[in-house]
Amino acid sequence: MAAPLGPSVRLRPTTPDDARTILAWYNDPEIVAPFDRFGVDDLESLRSAIAAAPSDPASLAPRYAVELGSESGPIGVVGHYRAHPVLEYLDVWYVLGRRDLRGRGYGKEAVRLLIDALFTSESLERVGATCDIDNLPSVRLLEGLGFRREGTLRAALFHHAAWHDVHVYGITRPEWASRRR
Ligand SMILES: CC(C)(COP(=O)(O)OP(=O)(O)OC[C@H]1O[C@@H](n2cnc3c(N)ncnc32)[C@H](O)[C@@H]1OP(=O)(O)O)[C@@H](O)C(=O)NCCC(=O)NCCS
């Protein structure tokens, strides 16, 4: 997949050298709270997971660093993974780790680039995503990109000492194509 490039951000494949920056974001409680947490917590495991991800469709490791034209180093990461052992779709996920840069459209642009790239390079008919029902920025990001809310999983995510409900979103190839015209 060529490095996807948008008006403000670009995606490039993550490398093990990004692990330290990413791990700091994963260890930020504000980020972990609403996020379907990636389970690897130590630096070496994260480095290995990033290196192994390209050959593992189910990997939850961050696949692309989000970079800004004017900034050096990643401002966030995005990923995708095969979410179901039988059903043929990929789920996407995203973190804008630089909290000072949120709310400027970078997250939405990065996810748009990711989905464009997935529908271009993979023979997929559906891209999905899940998010905590209280994660308003994520809900708005997905709905702003045209994702449909397909249902709600009850008590599916544990954080802050409580179980949380999770929305299931999806967008099909024709829906994505019609929004891009
Ligand atoms: C979700 C996340 C990636 C959004 O990144 P971002 O760059 O701030 O998002 P954008 O600026 O592109 O905004 C996307 C939408 O969310 C809205 N939004 C952004 N921040 C918001 C906030 N604090 N409250 C309400 N809405 C918000 C924007 O207005 C926009 O909606 P619009 O297109 O209808 O105007 C970022 O908040 C994040 O990293 N959160 C922690 C990790 C996480 O929760 N990931 C998702 C897991 S499902």
Domains and CATH numbers, the chain: 9-180 (3.40.630.30)
Evaluate: CB of 168 within 6 angstroms of ligand 1.
Answer: no
How far is the C-alpha of 49 from the C-alpha of 40, rounded, in Å? 8
Question: Ligand 1 pocket: which of 37, 60, 109, 141 to mutate (most atoms <8 Å of CB)?
Answer: 141
If one counts every other C-beta atom within 10 angstroms of the C-beta of residue 154, the result is 10
C-alpha triplet 44, 131, 80: angle, nearest 5°: 50
Taking the centre of ligand 1 as the mean of its atom positions, its distance from the CA of residue 86, in whole angstroms, is 31
Question: Ligand 1 pocket: which of 140, 145, 157 to mutate (most atoms <8 Å of CB)?
Answer: 140
pLDDT digits (tens, 9 = 90+) for 128-138: 999 999 999 99
Q: Whose CA is nearest to atom 29 of ligand 1?
A: 103
Q: Name the band, by pLDDT with cuts 50, 70 and 90, for residue 159.
A: confident
For residue 58, the model assigns a pLDDT of 95
* Residue 74 one-letter amino acid: P
Average pLDDT over residues 116-131: 96
Taking the centre of ligand 1 as the mean of its atom positions, its distance from the CA of residue 174, in whole angstroms, is 25
How far is the C-alpha of 95 from the C-alpha of 64, rounded, in Å? 11
DSSP 147: P
pLDDT digits (tens, 9 = 90+) for 15-57: 999 999 999 998 887 776 666 555 667 899 999 999 999 999 9
Residue labelled with tokens 């480095």: 47
Q: Are 74 and 67 in contact (CB under 8 A)?
A: yes
Residue labelled with tokens 């004017």: 70
Evaluate: CB of 104 within 6 angstroms of ligand 1.
Answer: yes
For residue 171, the model assigns a pLDDT of 98
DSSP 141: H
How far is the C-alpha of 112 from the C-alpha of 157, rounded, in Å? 25
The CA distances from residue 33 to 25, 50, 174, in Å, are 11, 22, 33
For residue 27, the model assigns a pLDDT of 84
